[in-house]
Amino acid sequence: MDSFSIVPTGKPLSGEVEISGAKNAVLATMTAAMLADGVTTITNVPYLRDTKTMSNVLRVIGCRIDGGPHEFKVDTHGANHLEAPYELVSTMRASFYVLGPLVSRFGRCRVSLPGGCAWGPRPVDLHLKGLEALGANIEVTHGYVEATSNGRLPGGNFRFPISSVGATVNVLMAATLAKGTSVLENAAIEPEIDSLVDLLLSMGVKIEGRGTRSLVVHGVEEMHPGFSETIPDRIEAGSFLCGAVISRGKVKTTKCDPIHIKSLLDIFEEMGCIVHTGKDWAEVDASSRDLKPVHVEAVPYPGFPTDLQAPLMAVLATVPGESKIRDTVYIDRFKHVAELNRLGANISLEGNTATIKGVEKLQGAPVMASDLRAAAALVIAGLVADGETRVSRIYHLDRGYENFEAKMAKLGGMVVRLSDQS
Ligand code: UD1
């Protein structure tokens, strides 16, 4: 298992870093390709463990994935094995996205339940209820979901009781091939949903309400293959900007959408950083600044994202005074707290609220990544900790950050991968 060795250089991060395509967008668009027979092209694909896993899921179903590492041509012509096995779905929850497209195009499929994740149970009840509302029959047996439909799904109306990105993705995809019109209320409005809607529109379905919580999908009998240019990864951009602020540096993220990270940029401004943005870049300058503590809530988009909660917590651990972060999306997502405290942070947890008392100096130590964003937080903390920080279980980070060490090196951060052959 690989680990990272992070040795502080004593210098703040500075320079420019190019942002890759969004993991969470491409996982949805890859599965949407299965709604049509033929080759859908997806560009700006990030080269990640998760995109490889999704390729494997689609291959098991019978699809071919051609093209280079950053351009996928998803050929769905041979898709006929309508099953996603436990071995794959349990390693990546987004594999569950195949459920919606498969049941709506083929009228049946069998997909493993994803199970829990590193920080909690993470149910899929809303995916299933939404599909049922469109007319699918759902049975859960032996850890698998069996979804069937007698002919085309009738379509229907569904109101998501809470905002869920994944359930919106699944139900929206299923609605495209339904007989009738479907209305999805309180749908998620994350940029990754807009990106999916854009691909679906290119495949020939009519959807009203893009960018709003109310999506009206006029189902069609057949979709044709489409095209998607993957949007920039807002979480990757935010993570590098957290690196800039923790090191009191100045970093410009390019090929990103500053609107997608406005909530984070607003927090940085409140803390006292200087923020500049252009059409496709954002720059944060935290050099020679006395930073102020903040109170933050992780909420659905356009609010501050739960995926940046851990990286921001690392930053706040170095800011004098008392900060607070409350996560309302994933109330148990705090495994990184104990690890950050191993690095000398002073963070206490009560329910879903972390109180962070800024310390003068973090100290390097061996720590363990519990999930993707926790891994990023620990590396970011290691950039400014005294002495070496060893972060183990880096496979979590490899799921969602392309070329991480090289990008860090470009900014002056020293993050070295240690491969453990044992
Ligand atoms: C997606 C993102 C993940 C991000 C999360 C929240 C992908 C591949 N992953 O995950 O990086 O952290 O959005 O922005 O895009 N819920 C239920 N029942 C369900 C589904 C969700 O109760 O059937 C709850 C969850 O437990 C959570 C909340 O809804 O409390 C939001 O979760 P959701 O938006 O669905 O997260 P994911 O789509 O799994």
pLDDT tens per residue, range 149-182: 999 999 999 999 999 999 999 999 999 999 999 9
Give the angle subtended at the CA of 121 by the CAs of 372 and 157, to the nearest 5°.
100
Ligand 1 mutation pick, 164, 186, 261, 373, max ligand atoms within 8 A of CB: 164
Query: What pLDDT is stored for residue 60 in this prediction?
Result: 96
User: pTM of the predicted model, to two decimals?
Assistant: 0.97
Alpha helices in 145-233 (DSSP H): 165-175, 191-202
Distance 140 CA to ligand 1 centre (A): 20
* pLDDT (average), residues 344-367: 97
Sorting pLDDT into bands at 50, 70 and 90, what band is 127?
A: very high
Active site residue 63: no
- CA dist 196 and 107 (Å) reads 22
Q: Using CB atoms within 10 A of its CB, is residue 151 exposed (0-12), middle (13-18) or buried (19+)?
A: exposed
Question: One-letter amino acid identity for 232?
Answer: P
**Phi/psi of residue 55, each to 5°?**
-60, -40
Sorting pLDDT into bands at 50, 70 and 90, what band is 120?
A: low
Sorting pLDDT into bands at 50, 70 and 90, what band is 421?
A: low
The structural domains of the chain, ordered by start, are 3-19+232-418 (3.65.10.10), 23-229 (3.65.10.10)
Q: State yes or no: 150 annotated in a binding site.
A: no
Contacts of 287 (CB under 8 A, 6+ apart): 12, 248, 249, 250
* pLDDT (average), residues 74-96: 94
Sorting pLDDT into bands at 50, 70 and 90, what band is 284?
A: very high
Give, using CA atoms, the residue closest to atom 12 of ligand 1: 307
Give the angle subtended at the CA of 365 by the CAs of 363 and 367, to the nearest 5°.
125
Question: One-letter amino acid identity for 151?
Answer: G
Query: What pLDDT is stored for residue 222 in this prediction?
Result: 97
Sorting pLDDT into bands at 50, 70 and 90, what band is 119?
A: low
- CA dist 113 and 139 (Å) reads 11
Beta bridge partners of residue 158, listed in sequence order:
184
Sorting pLDDT into bands at 50, 70 and 90, what band is 420?
A: confident
Query: What pLDDT is stored for residue 65 in this prediction?
Result: 97
Query: What pLDDT is stored for residue 122 in this prediction?
Result: 78
Which region among 115-119, 144-148, 200-204, 347-351 has the lowest average model confidence (pLDDT)?
115-119
pLDDT for residue 356 is more than 80:
yes
Query: What pLDDT is stored for residue 124 in this prediction?
Result: 93
Distance 53 CA to ligand 1 centre (A): 19
Strands 72-75 and 64-66: antiparallel
Distance of CA 186 to the CA centre of its chain: 20
Given phi > 0 = left and psi -120 to 50 = alpha, else beta, which region is 167? alpha
Give, using CA atoms, the residue closest to atom 1 of ligand 1: 165
Give, using CA atoms, the residue closest to atom 8 of ligand 1: 24
Sorting pLDDT into bands at 50, 70 and 90, what band is 68?
A: confident
pLDDT for residue 422 is more than 80:
no
pLDDT tens per residue, range 287-321: 977 899 999 999 999 999 999 999 999 999 999 99
> Which of 96, 261, 264 minimizes the C-alpha distance to 164?
96
Q: What is the DSSP string of 10-40?
A: SS--EEEEE--B-HHHHHHHHHHGGGBSSEE
Which region among 27-36, 64-73, 412-421 has the lowest average model confidence (pLDDT)?
412-421
Distance 211 CA to ligand 1 centre (A): 18
Output the ligand 1 site: residues, CB below 6 A. 24, 27, 93-94, 122-127, 162, 164-167, 192, 305-307, 329-330
- CA dist 1 and 389 (Å) reads 16
